Structure 1
Amino acid sequence: MRTTSVGVFKLATRGPGDVSGLMDLIVSGAINPASILAVLGKTEGNGGVNDFTREYAVAALSTALAPKLGLTPHEVEQRIAFVMSGGTEGVLSPHITVFTRRQVETSPKGISGKRLSIGMAQTRDFLPEELGRSAQIAETAKAVKAAMADAGITDPIDVHFVQIKCPLLTSERVEAAAARGNKTATISSYSSMAYSRGASALGVAVALGEVTSDICDEDVLRRYDLFSKVASTSSGIELMHNVVIVLGNSETSASAFEIGHAVMNDAIDAAAVVSALQSVGLGANPQPGRELVNIFAKAEASPDGSVRGFRHTMLEDTDISSTRHARAAVGGLIAGLAGTGVVYVSGGAEHQGPAGGGPVAAISRLF
């Protein structure tokens, strides 16, 4: 018996504070605000520590949805999983993807097989000294399992993308840890983003059985042979816990959508992008009655400073962060294959796919 129906709506934005597209769909009745479970967005900031476009976008969405839900903006943030990824370099286009979920009693005619399902969970708040370490890994693993249960997914093979928003360190947070006699994984706010992303990704890998659970603190950002094939983590200053969104396919879903994924081995792995599209009936010879909704991917500058044996300078550029280079490169590759720059590409893929690569997932809608 199918119990849920998931909806997916991709909306272009004119700026991080633009909520007009979402409000139009709510006014028209296309989206019931009470059904909104998660919002994933790309904002046109720098993607760094001081990228406040992420917080601005969340604040704008929460404020706009608050009267529709009879809640305060803060309560909206607690109810809906907002994940904003900064950085739309190159041809990437700012947008949001809204995921809705509602209960259904019977399956609509023509729905068969496993369909898109979504689940959400949160960890507890972390202490600054826990970021990038085993505590963050363990708590994330528990939250991933809880989100799977919320999505009605029992088999890890049916999980195709796990999006996580995780914290980072600030000078104030580092000082707070020091005042308690504790050291943080790093004192650099920028480096802490990588530590938090990496530990969160390893938490996904533990939850899904992709690696063993005996990972130690020293493995984070060192053992790049340990990774998840479906994790996508994005760090930000606006929270101190992890928000976990699991996307997969389930027999309990009556959705008109499907999701599939592949793993890019490096930043120019076009074959993996094509494989992800083909997994949901798209690509060069698409199945009839299907259309692309969105592609979600991670981008990373390979830590050895090369791609397929040739040197790159992304890690040596002091003017532009390597994550910005990577987003532009991978974004251009995916946009060319998908025929649109309105795709979700996030930089910083530590332990998210093999070193220098990353997961890529595609969602298609069936007619």
Structure 2
Amino acid sequence: MSRQAFVHRIAMTAPDDVSGLEAAIARGAVDPACVVAVLGKTEGNGCVNDFTRALAARALHDRLGAAPCCVMSGGTEGALSPHFTVFEVRTSDALPVDDALAVGHCRTPALPGQHLGRLAQVDAVAAGVRTAMEEAGITSPDDVHFVQVKCPLLTSARLAALDREGVAPATRDTLKSMGLSRAASSLGVAVALGEVVRDDLTDEAIGRDWELRSSRASASAGVELMGHEIVVLGRGRGWSGPLRVDHAVMADGIDIEPVRAALARLGLASTGQLDRHQRGRLKALLAKAEPGASGQLRGYRHTMLTDSDVSPTRHARGFTAGALAALVGHAEIYVSGGAEHQGPDGGGPVCVIVEAA
């Protein structure tokens, strides 16, 4: 006996559109009782008031129940295609395979607002990552290739509640609270994976010391939750099936060669864009994106940080998605903006899931 992971990309026509999921269930391609996580790209602004994430999560939970982790990332700028990536875990009679994809998930308790962006949030996420690893049978941090975290943010109502309690938040800026939440969550992943030493961290370092980072963390903040939804992808004991996983780190928004190398390691070697057959074997491409703080990309000035009309994260998602889409031949990819402590400044981690030949 073993466990086997299945990954399905399902197109959406609107944030609450689960007709594609319904069709997959009807034809037997997806067993709703086996779904453990759904990652979605919704067509909102990706900022504090992006309720497309909550709408999509509600539609999914209405169909699948409360058990699966639903990580909705707002923003499909450029040609990014709105879609769900559905993760199933089924039991199998097949013998375990050492490098088969393993999936673990965890949901943490609600985080008191005063802890957002502080060490208590780091600790909560680190504990959740360890729980998800244990659930997946992953014993070594080296076997973890990607950790997706959905984390909370502060709203006006939540700030008012803190005022009534007489406690001070890390910030009163709701938009900045998104960045601090992503930052603390990413450092929690880094602590759990041994990339950062917990005793070296302080509240002041969160969202400021960019030398502290994870090469496998992806964090997305949203208004639709108070705790954390955590999905761990890697290689664990007792898993079978043809799916394989690897990761890369982009140094900047057009650094596609590490991603090409990861694809090659999984059997999708190509000197150009993936061909049609290779694209069929690519089950998921998950990435982080952010504009570099210097305001330059390889010596050339960019305006992502100075555009007063469009958020920098929106620019970065569309820009990086275009580079990755040119590599793999389609834009149904998961690109999340805001990469605080997630890879180097201006770059970010990338995960690829491929069906073995």
Q: Is TM more than 0.5 here?
A: yes
Gaps of 5+ in 1: 66-75
Query: Matched residues in 1 for 2:259 and 2:190: separation?
Result: 21
1:306 corresponding residue in structure 2 = 296
Counterpart residue number, 1:253 = 239
Alpha-carbon shift at residue 192 of structure 1 (Å): 0.4
**1:251-291 alpha-carbon deviations (Å, 9 max, x no partner):** 42112201100001111112122123223221306899981
How many Å separate the matches in 2 of 1:103 and 1:303? 46
Runs of 4+ in 1 over 3 A off after TM superposition: 285-290
**Structure-1 residue corresponding to 2:344:** 354
Q: Which string of whole-angstrom CA distances, capped at 9 and with x for unpartnered residues, describes residues 325-348 of structure 1?
A: 000110000000010000000000
> Are 1:340 and 2:340 an aligned pair?
no
Q: Distance in 1 between matches of 2:315 and 2:195?
A: 29
Q: Which residue of 1 aligns with 2:4?
A: 5
Partner SS state of residue 316, structure 1: coil
Residue of structure 1 in register with 2:142 after alignment: 157
Alpha-carbon distance in 1 for matches of 2:317, 2:114: 29
User: Structure 2 CA distance, aligned partners of 1:138 and 1:353?
Assistant: 20
Normalization by structure 2: what TM-score?
0.95
Name the residue aligned to 1:327. 317
Do 2:183 and 2:206's aligned partners in 1 also have CA atoms closer than 8 Å? yes
| One-letter amino acid of the counterpart of residue 31, structure 1 | V
Tell me the secondary structure at the aligned position of residue 315 of structure 1: coil
Per-residue CA deviations over 1:175-219 (Å, capped at 9, x if unaligned) read 211222221111111110000000000000000000100211101
The alignment status of 1:234 with 2:220, answered yes or no, reads yes
For residues 264 and 247 of structure 2, the distance between their equivalents in structure 1, rounded to whole angstroms, comes to 9
The answer as to 2:119 corresponding to 1:134 is: yes
Residue in 1 that maps onto 2:261: 275
Q: Which moved more, 1:37-46 or 1:20-29?
A: 20-29
Aligned to 1:26: 25
Report the 3-state secondary structure (helix = DSSP H, G, I; strand = E; otherwise coil) of the residue aligned with 1:46: coil
Identify the range of structure 1 (139-148 vs 276-285) with the bigger mean alpha-carbon deviation: 276-285
Q: CA deviation at 1:106?
A: 3.6
What is the CA–CA distance in structure 1 between the aligned matches of 2:263 and 2:331, rounded to whole Å? 15
Query: In terms of mean alpha carbon deviation, does 245-254 or 91-100 score higher?
Result: 245-254
Is residue 93 from structure 1 mapped to residue 78 from structure 2 by the alignment?
Answer: no
The secondary structure found in structure 2 opposite 1:314 is: coil
Quick one: percent identity of the two aligned structures?
48
Aligned equivalent of 2:306: 316
Contact residue 97 and residue 238 of structure 2 kept, 8 A? no
Residues 54-73 of structure 1 correspond to what in structure 2 (within 5 A)? 54-65=53-64
Alpha-carbon contact 1:167-1:241 (below 8 Å) kept: yes
Q: Does the aligned pair in 1 maintain the 2:97–2:241 contact within 8 Å?
A: no
Residues 224-257 of structure 1 show CA distances to partners (whole Å, capped at 9, x for unaligned) of 0101101000000011101110001224211220
Greater alpha carbon shift after TM alignment, 284-293 vs 122-131: 284-293
Using the size of structure 1 for normalisation, the TM-score is 0.92
Aligned counterparts of 2:10 and 2:265: Cα–Cα separation in 1: 24
Tell me the SS of whatever aligns to 2:198: coil
Give the drift of 1:316: 0.9
CA distance in 2, matches of 1:178, 1:302: 35
Mapped partners of 1:200, 1:306: distance in 2: 27
Which residue number corresponds to residue 69 of structure 1?
Answer: none
**In structure 1, distance between residues paired with 2:338 and 2:264:** 25
The CA distance in 1 between the partners of 2:215 and 2:295, in whole Å, is 22
How far apart in 1 are the matches of 2:59 and 2:40?
Answer: 12
Following the alignment from structure 2 to structure 1, what is the Cα–Cα distance between the partners of residues 225 and 26? 30
Deviation at 1:92, TM superposition (A): 0.7
Equivalents in 1 of 2:178, 2:267: separation in Å?
35
In the TM superposition, residue 151 of structure 1 has moved relative to its aligned partner by 0.9
Show the counterpart of 1:47. 46
Structure 1, 166-175 or 317-326: larger mean CA deviation: 166-175
Residue 105 of structure 1, CA deviation: 4.0
**Helix, strand or coil: the match of 1:282?**
coil
Q: CA deviation at 1:311?
A: 2.2
Q: Does 1:202 align with 2:187?
A: yes
Tell me the C-alpha RMSD between the 2 structures.
Answer: 1.7
Counterpart residue identity of residue 71, structure 2: V
Task: Count residues with an aligned counterpart.
Answer: 352
5 Å-filtered alignment, 1:207-226, equals 207-214=192-199, 215-226=201-212
Distance (Å, rounded) in 1 between the aligned partners of 2:160 and 2:237: 49
Q: Is there any run of 5+ residues in structure 2 with no aligned partner, and where?
A: none
The amino acid of 1:342's aligned partner reads E
Q: What amino acid maps onto 1:231 in structure 2?
A: A
Query: 1:184 matched to which residue of 2?
Result: 169
Answer yes or no: is 1:17 the counterpart of 2:2: no
